[in-house]
């Protein structure tokens, strides 16, 4: 293969792991990220230190790269569209537009025939009160944009929970209320679509969250074959509907009867797919690079059962213990400071 360059917008740990995967396939990488010496820049060939929407930086990235991708879904859509006018951008900007607004996302999923929790748009205190009344006083209130890892949310567990002043307390920004879903467990599927329309999906992971942040992903998930088939079919409909290229993550609630309710999508490699670098020959990161570069997708087959555990904040104190255990892959993200709630790395333990 010839040495070509892939641009990556965003310099966090996902960009870091994409750059590592790209290097193994003989690609150079350029990171666009305003923070100097970001995790991705430590392993990439070059970093452009600039804002994600800096016109000159975007034009420079387009000149230097054959294709541009991104590591997080809050890249400004206008920036992605500017790049797309100059250079191929995968996943397409439409995926960003859908994923950045929870109301747009829910409607798009429903249009693809994928069931979600019931929801109402909230643009005022009165909207909030009407929506919660419709849901029996219970529901999850979320900002429509920019929330992640449990941020920008408020839960109403009983009809007695006060709603007074909540819209203003949430910033008087567009919100969405989702109905409670009586699920038994949470799962996710990591799927990829190539430039030729080929789709490959990894086995479903069973996920456990703590304080709104993913704690563990376990393979295999405790689900039946019908649930697996339904999740993969949903991912295929979503990928086709977006004319997608690259890796996508889809999170689901599993109901008592095995049916699925889609929770959210992430148009990028996903935390719940980190296990693939230890338990598959082709990781989600390599799969994404293959897809955006126009190469054949690799097999998503899993060779081992496993548990992936995020290292968050002071979990870094446990690294020495993890390193001493057999059959454990330790991956640290090159972040200088461990703060509460900050993802510092992850470990994947192969079980058999």
How does pLDDT run across 71-115, given as a tens digit for each residue? 999 899 999 999 999 999 999 999 999 999 999 999 999 999 999
- Residue 151 forms part of a structural domain: yes
Whether residue 94 is contained in a domain is answered as no
In a domain, 113, yes or no: no
Q: Are residues 80 and 213 in the same domain?
A: no
Proportion of the chain above pLDDT 90, given as a percent: 88
- Residue 108 phi/psi, 5° resolution? -65, -45
- Could you tell me if residue 351 is left (phi over 0), alpha (psi between -120 and 50 degrees) or otherwise beta? alpha
Residues 32, 152 within the same domain: no
- Kindly state whether residue 13 falls inside one of the protein's structural domains: yes
196 & 318 share domain: yes
pLDDT band, very low/low/confident/very high, at 1 (cuts 50, 70, 90): very low
Q: Residue 309: pLDDT above 60?
A: yes
Decide if 111 is inside a domain: no
Per-residue pLDDT at 352: 76
| Terminal-residue alpha carbon distance, the chain | 35
Same domain, 207 and 323: yes
The pLDDT-based confidence of 149 (bands split at 50, 70, 90) is low
State both tokens at 233: 């079919």
Q: Is the pLDDT of residue 148 over 70?
A: no
Residue 341 has pLDDT above 90, yes or no: yes
What is the CATH classification number for the domain harbouring 72?
Answer: 3.40.50.20
Same domain, 270 and 321: yes
Which among 144, 160, 178 is the end of a domain?
178
pLDDT of residue 150: 54
Q: How many domains does the chain have?
A: 3
Examine the fold and report which residue of 145, 178, 211 is the final residue of a domain before the chain moves on. 178
Confidence class of residue 318 from pLDDT cuts 50, 70 and 90? very high
Answer yes or no: do 202 and 344 share one domain: yes
Residue 227: domain span? 185-350
Same domain, 219 and 330: yes
Tens of pLDDT along 251-306?
Answer: 999 999 999 999 999 999 999 999 999 999 999 999 999 999 999 999 999 999 99
Q: How far apart are CA 176 and CA 139, in angstroms?
A: 10
Average pLDDT, the chain: 94
**Pair 163, 229 in one domain:** no
What does pTM read for this prediction?
A: 0.94
| Cβ neighbourhood burial of 13 (10 Å; 0-12, 13-18, 19+) | buried
Answer yes or no: are the C-beta atoms of 309 and 329 closer than 8 Å: no
CATH number of domain containing 167:
3.30.1490.20
- Whether the predicted pLDDT of 8 surpasses 80: yes
- Residue 321 and residue 267 in one domain: yes
Please check whether residue 311 lies inside any domain of the structure.
Answer: yes
Beta bridge partners of 248: 191
Type and span of the H or E element at 285 = helix 284-292
Domain annotation covers residue 189: yes
DSSP state of 41: G
CB 266 within 8 A of CB 257: no
Q: Is residue 97 part of a domain?
A: no
339 and 205 fall within a common domain: yes
Distant-in-sequence, close-in-space partners of 326: CB < 8 Å, separation ≥ 6 = none
Rounded mean pLDDT of 198-220? 96
Please give the Cα distance from 49 to 170 (Å, whole number): 32
Same domain for 318 and 294:
yes
Is 326 found in the same domain as 244?
Answer: yes
Give the pLDDT band (50/70/90) at residue 147: low
Could you report the per-residue pLDDT of 153-197, keeping only the tens digit for each? Answer: 888 887 777 778 888 888 889 999 999 999 999 999 999 999 999
Confirm if 74 and 266 have CB atoms less than 8 A apart. Answer: no
CATH number where 249 lies: 3.30.470.20
Listed residues 163, 178, 193: the one ending a domain = 178
Q: How confident is the model at residue 3 (pLDDT cuts 50, 70, 90)?
A: low
Give the strand pairing for 175-178 and 199-201.
unpaired
């Amino acid at each position: 293969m010839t040495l070509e360059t892939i641009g990556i917008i965003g310099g966090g740990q996902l960009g870091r792991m994409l750059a590592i995967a790209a290097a193994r396939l003989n690609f150079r990488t350029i990171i666009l990220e305003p923070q100097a010496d970001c995790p991705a820049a430590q392993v990439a060939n070059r970093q452009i230190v600039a804002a994600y929407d800096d016109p000159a930086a975007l034009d420079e990235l387009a000149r230097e790269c054959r294709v541009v991708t991104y590591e997080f879904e809050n890249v400004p859509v206008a920036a992605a569209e500017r790049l797309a006018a100059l250079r191929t951008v995968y996943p397409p900007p439409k995926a960003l537009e859908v994923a950045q607004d929870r109301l747009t996302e829910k409607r798009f999923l429903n249009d693809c025939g994928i069931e979600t929790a019931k929801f109402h748009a909230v643009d005022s205190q009165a909207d909030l009160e009407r929506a919660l009344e419709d849901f029996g006083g219970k529901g999850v209130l979320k900002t429509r944009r920019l929330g992640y890892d449990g941020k920008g949310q408020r839960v109403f567990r009983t009809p007695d929970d006060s709603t007074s002043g909540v819209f203003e307390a949430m910033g008087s920004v567009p919100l969405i209320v989702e109905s409670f879903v009586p699920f038994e467990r949470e799962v996710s599927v990591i799927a990829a679509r190539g430039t030729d329309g080929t789709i490959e999906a990894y086995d479903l992971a069973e996920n456990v969250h703590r304080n709104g942040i993913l704690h563990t992903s376990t393979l295999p998930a405790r689900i039946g074959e019908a649930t697996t088939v339904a999740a993969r079919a949903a991912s295929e409909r979503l990928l086709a509907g977006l004319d997608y290229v690259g890796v996508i993550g889809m999170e689901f609630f599993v109901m008592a009867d095995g049916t699925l309710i889609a929770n959210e999508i992430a148009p990028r490699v996903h935390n719940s797919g980190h296990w693939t670098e230890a338990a598959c020959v082709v990781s989600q990161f390599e799969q994404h690079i293959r897809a955006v570069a126009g190469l054949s997708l690799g097999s998503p087959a899993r060779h081992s059962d496993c548990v992936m555990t995020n290292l968050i904040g002071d979990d870094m104190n446990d690294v020495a213990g993890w390193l001493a255990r057999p059959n454990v892959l330790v991956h640290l993200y090159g972040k200088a400071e461990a703060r509460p709630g900050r993802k510092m790395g992850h470990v994947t333990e192969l079980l058999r």
